[in-house]
Amino acid sequence: MSVTSVINPATEEMIAEVPQTSAEEVDAAIEHAREAFLSWRGVSPGDRARLLRRFAEVVDAHQEELAQLEVRNSGHTISNARWEAGNVRDVLNYYSAAPERLFGRQIPVPGGVDLTFLEPLGVVGVIVPWNFPMPIAGWGFAPALAAGNTVVLKPAELTPLTAIRLGELALDAGLPEHVFAVLPGRGAVVGERFISHPAVRKIVFTGSTEVGKRVMAGCAQQVKRVTLELGGKSANIVFADSDLARAAASAPMSVFDNAGQDCCARSRILVEREAYEKFLQLLEPAVKDVRVEDPALGTAQMGPLISSAQRSHVASYVQEGSVAFKGSSPSGPGYWYPPTVLAPVDLSDRAYREEIFGPVVAVVPFEDEGDAVRIANDTEYGLSGSIWTTDLGKAVRVARAVESGNLSVNSHSSVRYWAPFGGYKQSGLGRELGPDAPGSFCEVKNVFISTGV
Ligand code: NAP
């Protein structure tokens, strides 16, 4: 049996060994999930709702345990990890209302009436990346279960521990066996089998654009439903008329949160030329104030990167000549990397164009509104972004013009579980979250009933 050694990225110590699920075991789990679906879909909506609320309560009772586990496994700061465990609870609570609200429609047609039903798909496969192991799992499994599907979930090899614990807590909450199964293991084995197994009727994939394209191609073989939440290179657009002090004070955590390993990281800051120098002067102390330290400390704002390989990957983008200034990071064990600001940056530089997925941000000037939109859209990605201005009309114009799925104005907060989330262009396909998510885990069925004699 193969095992994965799970490493604490803040100490480089091994904290667990997790058996990898083999291809045969994946097939068996999918078969069990297929059988469990036949009864789970028949559980009355009210009872399914009660079970999901109970699952939320059990997650809540274990919030601190889950958070501490995430700190050790992923190097997330304890304050972030507490929020992440709480997000799973909140998303379960939110979607616990869905089983009783999966309404169809009735459409009058000549000679009768046409009824629309939303029917669950069957087994849903959820594939999770390592950067937000808990929330991204919950965004997939909660609406899928609410709609009456069963779920098989593959956590990332580097970060399986909280997902495994959530699988145990689901059973503690009374979810029937095989309704929600967590299968740790390799993408090339477990993930691939979710895609190729005909009983899995939908794939929810969050990860890199490169793997996402392969997932989409694999799903096409069976015309399998797929949602893709992929990479980003989001722009933080700062106009000269904005509250520059606020924009500069909040810019660091809009990209360095989770050590920059965030698909929504605002990793390109575009600043109107007349405010460019002033903005950099305000940004420098804010970056130097970011507390990069042991993520278990309540004061930590940023922890380590997830792995040695990720640190080498991030470092490959940083040429010393292009660094304007840096924050600090601990020395000694741990995959630390300091918050780093690149300026000026050539718009063809790979550090400017590619998703770095680390604490590195590029700051570039723009001339006017049209130039800002042109530069913001000059990327293959389109996930997130921010606009800073006191001119409301301009904020709305720019928000409409930027090709991106989730934007914020005078704020860096654009993800809410009760609003849809997803990307334009190569940042993804489809939307997660929001009130319509359970419907995306259903087939739509139309039935004509004749009223003729
Ligand atoms: P990744 O390498 O694409 O892996 C994502 C998941 O896919 C992992 O569980 C991985 O398993 C699995 N996988 C790998 N190869 C596979 C295959 N051939 N078939 C099926 N599954 C396979 O991405 P990552 O490095 O973990 O995550 C970082 C990326 O995720 C970034 O690009 C980030 O922007 C993106 N992301 C996007 C969002 C969003 O909502 N848009 C949110 C978070 C992250 P292994 O662990 O075994 O490799």
Task: Choose the residue to mutate in 208, 314, 357, 379 for probing ligand 1, maximizing ligand atoms within 8 Å of C-beta.
Answer: 208
Q: Please give the C-alpha separations between residue 15 and each of 62, 153, 186, 303, in angstroms, as whole numbers.
A: 20, 22, 19, 17
Best of 263, 306, 313, 383 to mutate for ligand 1, by most ligand atoms within 8 A of CB? Answer: 263
- The rounded mean pLDDT for the chain is 97
Can you list the positions of beta strands (E) in 239-344? 268-272, 323-326, 340-342
What is the DSSP pairing of strand 442-450 with strand 112-120?
A: antiparallel
Instruction: Specify which residues 318 forms β-bridges with.
Output: none
From the list 84, 192, 219, 263, the catalytic residue is: 263
Written as six digits, the tokens of 313 are 């990957």
Q: What is the pLDDT of residues 216-256, one digit of tens each?
A: 999 999 999 999 999 999 999 999 999 999 999 999 999 99
What was the pLDDT predicted at 453? 65
Between CA 296 and CA 239 the distance in angstroms is 37
Rounded distance from Cα 186 to ligand 1 centre (Å): 11
Residue 229 designated active-site: yes
> CA Rg, the chain, in Å?
23
Is pLDDT of 80 > 90?
Answer: yes
Does the structure show a pLDDT above 90 at 68? yes
* pLDDT, tens only, 295-321: 999 999 999 999 999 999 999 999 988
User: Confidence class of residue 372 from pLDDT cuts 50, 70 and 90?
Assistant: very high
| Burial class of residue 441 in the structure, from the number of CB atoms within 10 Å of its CB (0-12 exposed, 13-18 middle, 19+ buried) | buried
Q: What is the mean pLDDT of residues 431-445?
A: 97
Which H/E stretch holds residue 74? Answer: helix 63-74
Contacts of 167 (CB under 8 A, 6+ apart): 153, 180, 181, 182
Q: What is the mean pLDDT of residues 115-125?
A: 98
Determine the atom of ligand 1 nearest the C-alpha atom of 432: 40
Ligand 1 atom closest to the Cα of residue 232 is: 34
Residue 257, classed as helix, strand or coil, is helix
243: tokens are 């509250």
Residues 280-301 have a mean pLDDT of: 98
Mean pLDDT of 265-286: 98
Instruction: Read off the pLDDT band of 121 (50, 70, 90).
Output: very high
The reply to whether 442 belongs to the active site is no
Q: C-alpha distances in angstroms, 369 versus 286, 309, 382?
A: 26, 39, 18
Residue 82 has pLDDT above 70, yes or no: yes
Other beta carbons less than 10 A from residue 65's beta carbon: 13
| Catalytic entry in 70, 229, 272, 432 | 229
Question: Residue 406 pLDDT > 90, yes or no?
Answer: yes
Ligand 1 site, CB within 6 A: 127-132, 136, 154, 156-157, 186-188, 191-192, 206-208, 211, 214-215, 229-232, 263, 355, 357, 383, 423, 427-428
Give yes or no for residue 24 having a pLDDT over 70. Answer: yes
Q: Per-residue pLDDT for 210 more than 80?
A: yes
Span of 67-71, 95-99, 148-152, 411-415 with lowest mean pLDDT: 411-415
Confidence check: pLDDT of 1 > 80: no
**E-only strand ranges, 156-295:** 180-182, 200-206, 225-229, 235-238, 268-272
Q: What is the pLDDT of residue 414?
A: 87
Residue closest via CA to ligand 1's atom 34 equals 231
Is the pLDDT at 159 greater than 80? The verdict is yes
Nearest CA to ligand 1 atom 40: 229
